Homo-oligomer: A and B are copies of this chain.
């Protein structure tokens, strides 16, 4: 797949910016009602589209952004870099994710965000977000919720790293990404693009590259999932969930007044 064509995007009937806003709204609506005024505020806050090559930082660790970034299409990862170059990826993001809403309040980024594939992103100025926080309390709570879910994902990854066997941990990651893509209708027939290298995967699981390869083979040997050429196909979804001890509660995919 050529790098110039970002993957995992919605069919671009409308402008990519509008489509990105729509993905975010779709995701928020999964958790609570979003009013037309709030939808308008979301559409209004986005500034433009920026392309980011695969492997490039969307936000650098230690930087001080003045706007927060919405992922329009492609896959991105949140990571912490240690001094000697070791990298730990702490979350994966899919289109429609507000990947660095964090910088709105953290000011100095404690972590970075990298494009796992070619990506397009849309910036939302912090000044506009501050205005939203004054004018739209409910939308603010929904944005807050968004970052709380990021935290819940971190906790689930911690449990995976500390207390799950490595095959379960890898299976859990696949379940999580499938679930996030499924909402966006990007995973028809349990099949989806996820074009990352085994080095990226190792940095997600906290394993060495070599061992990651062996764990992946072990997972393939279960015949529950296929992972080849950047395409993942799940053959046995219930089996994979069981292996992973996957309970999607932490993704908060139910509508509630919030």
Whether A205 pairs with B147 at a CB distance below 8 angstroms is: no
Which residues of chain B have C-beta atoms less than 8 A from A88's C-beta?
Answer: 155, 158-159, 162-163
Give a binary string over A115-143; 1 marks a CB under 8 Å from any B CB, 0 the rest: 00000000000000010011001001100
Q: Which 6 A-B pairs have the closest CB atoms?
A: A162-B206, A154-B154, A110-B250, A151-B151, A80-B159, A88-B159
Which residues of chain B have C-beta atoms less than 8 A from A155's C-beta?
Answer: 78, 80, 88, 90, 110-111, 154
A57 CB to closest chain B CB (Å) equals 16
Contacts A82-B245, A110-B155, A245-B83 given; indicate if A141 touches B133 (C-beta within 8 A). Answer: yes
Chain A interface size range: 35 or more
Is A252 located at the chain interface by the 8 A CB criterion?
yes
Contacts A140-B140, A161-B206, A205-B162 given; indicate if A152 touches B110 (C-beta within 8 A). Answer: yes
Is A107 located at the chain interface by the 8 A CB criterion?
yes
Whether A106 pairs with B152 at a CB distance below 8 angstroms is: yes
Q: 15 other contacts beyond A110-B155, A140-B140, with CB at 8 A cut-off? A: A80-B163, A82-B245, A88-B159, A105-B145, A105-B148, A105-B258, A106-B145, A106-B149, A106-B252, A108-B252, A147-B151, A150-B151, A151-B151, A162-B206, A162-B207
Which residues of chain B have C-beta atoms less than 8 A from A108's C-beta?
Answer: 249, 252, 254
Give a binary string over A174-187; 1 marks a CB under 8 Å from any B CB, 0 the rest: 00000000000000
Is A237 located at the chain interface by the 8 A CB criterion?
no
The docked-state distance in angstroms from the alpha carbon of A164 to that of B161 is 13
Is A30 located at the chain interface by the 8 A CB criterion?
no
Whether B133 pairs with A140 at a CB distance below 8 angstroms is: yes
